[in-house]
Structure 1
């Protein structure tokens, strides 16, 4: 263990604190700090059942910062030991040791991620702001460790002459590429600037995220009883409870999240209020106040460009896509622009249908963005006699959860058993836990945590994550995976009824969890994802929501228990391509803007103007807006996971549509045993242990084709 003087020196450098203490005082502080390190629950090994679980019930906000500082220190000690090993570099003494380094920090980050995404508070955000640049420095100390990189390079170079076993070779290739892409081969001066840019960016990402969260929490629309026209009883009861919880008893709260905004815009008859709710939602981070993100985005773009120029690249997109399936921004843009004309042409048709209904009703309006969902619902009823509120009566959250477990059982041979309350610590009373086992052997695969409801301090949207991933190289590790949603919590005793779109998203995120659970890789690095491929598996799982087995057994009326009528099922399937103009265009607009922002010259860029002018050049229909406007585009500007990679959903959807047709053509349909085995073997279990394109070819027998995607969306298939 590091002595306190060494730790103290590191901490002083990191946080810029200068303190003078006497020898006696330092000795006293040494004992206290070492005791704190030992007892900090965020660093401790996980104990209890199921291979050990996070002690969420022990987490205190005051433990966060010291745990993260100590975790980084211990991780860097591991790295230094590897870098300074006097023995010649080998896969075992370099790569494998890197794979097992930093365990304390990994555990601490599991808690940190929950506090950041699920349980954020003003106190935590202050700590987050302090720690963000320190995390960046920590990463730079690893990727820019010259001795470490030379050992990695030696193993990599040797493997080119004498290839390693396939999984080991893949690990070496991925690690070498990651270091090279992050400045490991730069000279000392450029490395220093590279690290400084990363540090500055980390602070900007945190500020961007916190600004969006501020606007989500503070722009709440309160309704009175005479303003509830068109809204369902369940929605009204939930809105009343939310308002009461916020100290507005007797009113009804529309929160600034998609789960609240979307149904309100779809059903509310109060057009002025629809405009207000729409404006609040799409203006997050764009209110010309201290929480405005436009200048932050401009600075992020400049710094990203400067950083990749240090590495010899012309722009950020060129650098980022080199290890993705698309390989370069041109390929990604070609796909998006192949679909864009058909999408906006369909929007024109959809708007004409909506305007006709508005005129028939004598509403005397021209369709605006805050009208789109409302009148689209009217068109749906007229064209398909399909009432989405009627569909919701059969989409009860508990039943959908059981349906997902059923699908996992049929395809993956998994069994999900509820864990008794209190057996496993959770961070909030809403979180439920299931044990996942193999149906044949009873072997524990892991635990599945579900956090379904929106609340203050929880970021919007839906996502999946892991607290622990599967590996076997140091003994088998089971999986601790989590799914997170933002459904509106119902009033006591009321069911949670969701829309078809929300049910689809629920299945989507569960697909990510199944991807985690099915991993059969040996090394942690092989659990990493390829961004324009990692959404494919989850998008594919969405297709099982509309299978007969799920519809007939789990989509039952929440009051009567009667299965969804066949006529309603037929209407849903007939309307499968309904509103695809809206869905495709709002998504593609965000993806195209993401790419074009990173291809543009960032010097003196006016982000708001760039967004407007680019959309005009694209002939973006004025009746709708990007799914994620730039000032709140967290995928791209709260970090780098989806930067120049939001196109990946479309790339993955090409694979999804093509793979779905393979199941449709199989004798057993979507539950065909042979196809299910290939699905798990080639598309889920390998994770990143093989090239994604090769994995898909092994599954399908050929590369994916765009034709299936166009058919799925009801768009014309491009001619050869």
Structure 2
């Protein structure tokens, strides 16, 4: 057990911008830090709840907003590390802490004394002289207690608390199981025959991966998306593609200690029970009641409205792939492990595009610069490398972000490369959120990716889009400008939070951005105009596949959480039945199959909410049209409205009202169909 004297969590952080002193933090520091910060938070909550003075915003709501800062510092540091650079010691602590933290928060949110004081203020909200932001905080605080079960009888409260603890344990197990399966798998390519079709860039990355795993002189493909997707695209070895693909889609269902099927069944059942205790028909009804969509019917209408055009387009795409396969003497029946391979060949023939020709123009460093430059032109902010800021891994880099007047806005960390200690995917998170309560506190935001290393690191166009997407989330955190921490940054409705990120992707496709930053890594020459035109013309190529792959996951997620109960649930059988109902093409597999669907089962974040990407895309497709209508992708007036009502506003107002304030109206699904190229004939 670390002593208080040597534990960084029991001292002020004197690092630049009070960033976490990663060089001094050890796994053994977390347990005592959690214990102390949980105790102090409980004391603060008890003091608010037991106060016999008048209940008002200053004596109840603001103390709630202030409480738990030490706990937040410990928890944000810990959970960011368990996602991005974990180890056995951290995972053991995570398993231990997950139910303890759930129990702690349940005790607070189900405390009748505390809720009584909040409810007393809420009942008088129209009589109080509150600012619009204070009223929003009060309303969200009251709703949070109600949705946690604070109004229920004690017996139901006790059951809700037990459910929360168990779900926290199960969610941790789920994510650790998936990571274990991803870490344990390697496809070792033994000789020249195994390497057939692989471009030099993929060979170099596979050789580096092999060396990192003690297999010098060989090549290794892993289950990281940045490794396996290029392999499935280029490998001429159909048998190896099949082997790798089947391992990829079987994460979490291999039997043994890392099998997630029983974990899923119990989680779905507990979520359904939780919803019933709170008075909702299903967990989906409960979850969506506090989202823009409001109801499962609204979500279903959106998903079904896009499904049929997407499925029809995928059928056209499949026929084109089968025709090419037949012409090459391969089986005309396209299997899931064939799709990416033949799609690349069709794209190459139809648009005269070769991924090996494109990648040299998408250097990671230049794409980071491009994302920064777009933010500078839109919002006037600048990025300055800071080598003096401690980081948690040698691959991580830090930038200070400054306003146009040179003042400090925030700290941005970039963690771009895949490694076994990092979970798959890409995400944005915060080590510290923004607030102005009791003085200005600026955020520390991190983007985490899983790109392959290289010298230089080269990205696919999709990789570059992912970088822009996550940086859009980062800007949502960095530009936050509110007083109260509970509504800062990305603390918005789940089906609104993807708007800033998906909208930011549009600027990657702005020709003047590509002309400046898509330069050849050897010659420094910009991408030839002809290649740029062909690349942009092909932006909707294979969009039927991509949309079906995504939508099927969203539909299975929604259907699972529309179950009123889930006794004896067989997740894989349920998945098969749902896919049969929607007539899922045999040649396409869900983007996230249920046993490794971490969005939905590593926590409640996207449970009954994976549709959110599509809901937000309806918004982002329409939002970028505001710039097109202005005739300038960097139009200052439009950018100012975007900053004020979307990126800096946090959860100051209802998301529909925020969008209306920016755009003047709500969008329709037509903008989304046009963006994805699903509104007309195939191209």
Tell me, yes or no, whether TM beats 0.5.
Answer: yes
CA deviations 1:109-166 (Å, max 9, x no partner) are 1220232101111222111111111011111111011111111111111104446210
Match of 1:438 among 394, 403, 426: 403
Distance 1:573 1:172, change over 3 A: same
Measured after TM superposition, the shift of residue 552 of structure 1 is 1.1
1:212 paired to 2:173: no
- Tell me the SS of whatever aligns to 2:220: strand
- Tell me the SS of whatever aligns to 1:599: coil
1:92 paired to 2:58: yes
Contact 1:44 1:104 in 2 (8 A): no
Measured after TM superposition, the shift of residue 649 of structure 1 is 0.3
CA deviations 1:609-652 (Å, max 9, x no partner) are 00011101100001010000000000100100000010000000
Distance 1:196 1:466 in 2: 28
1:177 corresponding residue in structure 2? 143
Match of 1:333 among 281, 295, 300: 300
Distance 1:173 1:69 in 2: 31
- Tell me the SS of whatever aligns to 1:141: helix
1:395 corresponding residue in structure 2? 362
Measured after TM superposition, the shift of residue 356 of structure 1 is 0.7
Contact 1:586 1:627 in 2 (8 A): yes
Match of 2:222 among 255, 261, 274: 255
Distance 1:233 1:716 in 2: 38
Match of 2:389 among 417, 421, 424: 424
Contact 1:389 1:499 in 2 (8 A): no
1:145 paired to 2:111: yes
Contact 2:181 2:251 in 1 (8 A): yes
1:499 paired to 2:460: yes
2:619 corresponding residue in structure 1? 655
1:467 corresponding residue in structure 2? 431
Measured after TM superposition, the shift of residue 699 of structure 1 is 1.2
Q: CA RMSD in A?
A: 1.3
Distance 1:673 1:548 in 2: 18
CA deviations 1:77-120 (Å, max 9, x no partner) are 11111111121111011100010101111110122023210111
Distance 2:369 2:479 in 1: 19
Measured after TM superposition, the shift of residue 394 of structure 1 is 0.4
Match of 2:639 among 642, 664, 676: 676
Measured after TM superposition, the shift of residue 365 of structure 1 is 4.4
2:353 corresponding residue in structure 1? 386
2:331 corresponding residue in structure 1? 364
1:522 corresponding residue in structure 2? 483
Measured after TM superposition, the shift of residue 39 of structure 1 is 4.3
Distance 1:454 1:382 in 2: 32
Match of 1:541 among 488, 504, 507: 504
Contact 1:258 1:460 in 2 (8 A): yes
Distance 2:447 2:12 in 1: 23
Kindly tell me the number of residue pairs found equivalent between the two proteins.
677
Distance 1:163 1:619, change over 3 A: farther
Measured after TM superposition, the shift of residue 194 of structure 1 is 0.7
Contact 1:437 1:443 in 2 (8 A): yes
CA deviations 1:352-406 (Å, max 9, x no partner) are 0001111111123421000000000011011111112211110000000111110
Distance 2:582 2:9 in 1: 49
The gaps in structure 1 that reach 5 residues or longer are 1-32
The gaps in structure 2 that reach 5 residues or longer are none
1:561 corresponding residue in structure 2? 524
1:56-75 equivalence runs, <5 A: 56-75=22-41
Distance 1:293 1:124 in 2: 21
Which region of structure 1 is more displaced relative to structure 2, 205-214 or 117-126?
117-126
Contact 1:275 1:370 in 2 (8 A): yes
Measured after TM superposition, the shift of residue 38 of structure 1 is 5.5
1:412 corresponding residue in structure 2? 379
Match of 2:311 among 315, 330, 344: 344
1:609 corresponding residue in structure 2? 573
Measured after TM superposition, the shift of residue 716 of structure 1 is 2.6
Distance 2:612 2:80 in 1: 25
Match of 2:157 among 171, 181, 191: 191
